[in-house]
Structure 1
Amino acid sequence: MRPMLATPGAHVPPGEEWVHEVKWDGIRLLGDSPEGRTQTRLTTRNDNDATRAWPEIAIGPARDVLVDGEVIALNDAGLPDFRVLMDRMHNRDAGRAARFAERIPATYMVFDLLRLDGRLLIEEPWAERRKILEAVHADGDLGSWQVPATYDDGRMLHEVTRDQGLEGIVSKRRISRYRPGERSKDWVKLAHRYRASLVVGGWRPEVGTEGGTERIGALLVGQPTSDGLVYRGRVGSGIGGKRAQRLGDLLRETGRNPFAGPDVDPDGGVPPVDARGTHWVEPFLVVEVETHGTAFAAASYKGRLRQPSFIGIREDIEPEDL
């Protein structure tokens, strides 16, 4: 099963039909803990098994449950930060995972209950699923997993999360059913940080590379659309060392420009200054990018990146998930 996805929004939905939650800056995981199993199976948004990476979370609860939630870890400022989790999310070695769990402890924030004791709950409205989830948590049946609070006042939560430096909020219709793998308008996300997951279509070598071996200095990234991959800009800040090496190991060159042209989108098409010297790659790798400017935070991501920085590789997401 793949998780239900939220639609980007421009404002907090008004009215009593909506409820609001904190948007966590972490990694989305489904936790499947059938009765009798001592370990929960953790899967990413694209249904990859991530159980080994999170041994402290994979200790299963006492009951048969299937839950949806976000794995988070805190930075030095005490705030949830995806960047803290980057090394952990790519690891599958049990020994390293145990050491990571000691050094970078993670918390599983469970916000939805999809199955309980063999009963599938996805056709129940959100309000009913939430009621059952809170009862199970109150009974102590979720172990160390946490169930974050919900709020009726979305505007207040939006302001508070912005002031506290949190990522944003997610608003949900109380009557919404759970639709696995779908991006639904019954869930709306509003981010304070101007961050997005984009697809790599090419890379440019680092300036002044010595020894005849080119190193990655910048990525050319785009936004998937129904008409193709629309170019959104070049990202160089934050790439270097192990990150550049990891990117080089993953990217597969094709020699063909994968971006849609200006006939598809006025902002599509790679400018000659960016295309010159670029190594074109297969557009399958998703990366997280942070940028300045409110235009990029809008649902359509119109416009180009402004002073962008590379945050990390999202191997838990595929282009079709965006």
Structure 2
Amino acid sequence: MVLRPPVAPMLAQAAEAIPRTRPGAGVAYEQKFDGHRALLFTPPVPGGPALIQTRRGSMVQDRFPDLVAAALEQLPPGLVLDGELLVWDPEAGALSFEALQRRAAARARGAAALAARIPAYFLAFDVLQLDGVETMGLPYRERRRRLEVLFSARALTAPWTLCPMTTDLATAQDWLETWTDVSGVEGLVIKPLTSKYLPNTRGWTKVRRRDTTEAVIGAVTGTLARPQLLLLGRYDQDGRLRAVGRTVALRPNAARQVAERLTASASASASGHPWTGAVFSAAWGSRDVLDVTLVRPDLVAEVRADRAVDHGGIFRHPLRFQRLRPDVAPEDVPGFGAGAAAASG
């Protein structure tokens, strides 16, 4: 049976640290890159179109004509790959999520011009079909072997990249601690060697590197007595408080700790607050809007953040509140654009 889109990809459950595995339970550790999850389909027979499907099932091959052309030229028919779309920004000398967003949002007319300036890459980490034969029922160990054979037999190079993988825990820990300093690598995905590919099932584990840093509390959801989320900011070079992200829901003890020190903005209209009139989305890229209460921006929070940070300094994933830092003044917080790696100490 030939696979045709949409195919629901297998998913990963988030974890805060590399899980312990029982003796003899083999697992693979793959580098997790900051890209767009995608499935790539080559035509069952030569002459048909190559297709690119997003995690949510949308078809975006018209946005990536460079990958489509390369797939028809270099890949065999009847192939389905699972992986990440990535874009290298030559000016920044690094992988760029913002450039990837521009590629993903491009219309047909502008897609070719963008592809010439900022080409896309496909980082493959699984094969769901090879030579027209479905492989999802095979264990990960065998699927990975076939993927490696595909890359070596066809001498595949850019725009095709084989995701780095190891079965050595020490190597994986080194990747998590040091490779995440390299732009674009944000953590690990951990996969049992014997696992089948199960669409829409969280059978893998993902671990993002998180660093401790500080930000200024500028607003909350909920009430001042019972805050739920913290809206955080950092000052830019012009002295403006810029929103950089929000926390996950506070635990009861943390909410009480924060509530004891929160102060409402100076007036009912909050006209003197730097975020007066600002609109905050419920999640990165979401159109849903949060109902927030502005507070006096004189309280600093210590948070844990992963490496998914836009070049402008905005955290794309929610932050984990650690504690208040009454010993740190707002002006001593890392500046806007510093990302997660910087901390005031």
**TM-score interval for Structure 1 and Structure 2 normalised by the shorter chain:** 0.5 to 0.7
2:34 maps to a residue whose letter is: D
The alpha-carbon deviation at position 232 of structure 1 amounts to 4.6
- Residue correspondence of structure 1 range 1-322 to structure 2 within 5 A: 1-14=7-20, 17-36=26-45, 37-59=47-69, 60=71, 61-75=75-89, 76-91=91-106, 93-140=107-154, 144-153=159-168, 154-165=172-183, 166-184=185-203, 186-192=204-210, 231-233=229-231, 266=255, 286=285, 294-297=303-306, 302-303=320-321
So what's the TM-score if we normalise by structure 1? 0.63
For the 8 Å contact 1:167–1:193, the answer to whether it is kept is no
Question: Structure 1 309/88 Cα, relative in aligned 2: closer, same or farther at 3 Å?
Answer: farther
CA distance in 1, matches of 2:162, 2:65: 19
For the 8 Å contact 1:12–1:190, the answer to whether it is kept is no
The secondary structure found in structure 1 opposite 2:101 is: helix
CA distance in 1, matches of 2:112, 2:334: 37
1:131 maps to a residue whose letter is: R
* Partner of residue 290, structure 2: none
The alpha-carbon deviation at position 237 of structure 1 amounts to 8.3
The secondary structure found in structure 1 opposite 2:94 is: coil
CA offset digits 1:58-77 (Å, max 9, x no partner): 23322211111111122445
The alpha-carbon deviation at position 308 of structure 1 amounts to 10
For the 8 Å contact 1:168–1:193, the answer to whether it is kept is no
The secondary structure found in structure 2 opposite 1:108 is: strand
Aligned identity (percent) is 23
For the 8 Å contact 2:85–2:123, the answer to whether it is kept is yes
CA distance in 1, matches of 2:67, 2:211: 27
1:183 maps to a residue whose letter is: R
Q: Runs of at least 4 residues of structure 1 off by over 4 A?
A: 141-144, 219-222, 234-238, 259-263, 265-269, 275-285, 296-302, 304-310
1:129 maps to a residue whose letter is: R
For the 8 Å contact 2:17–2:207, the answer to whether it is kept is no
1:30 maps to a residue whose letter is: L
1:157 maps to a residue whose letter is: W
Structure 2: gaps of 5 or more residues: 1-6, 213-217, 222-227, 237-247, 271-275, 287-300, 308-316, 324-332, 338-345
Alpha carbon RMSD of aligned pairs, Å? 4.4
1:172 maps to a residue whose letter is: K
Structure 1: gaps of 5 or more residues: 195-218, 223-229, 239-258, 311-322
> Quick check: which has more Rg, 1 or 2?
2
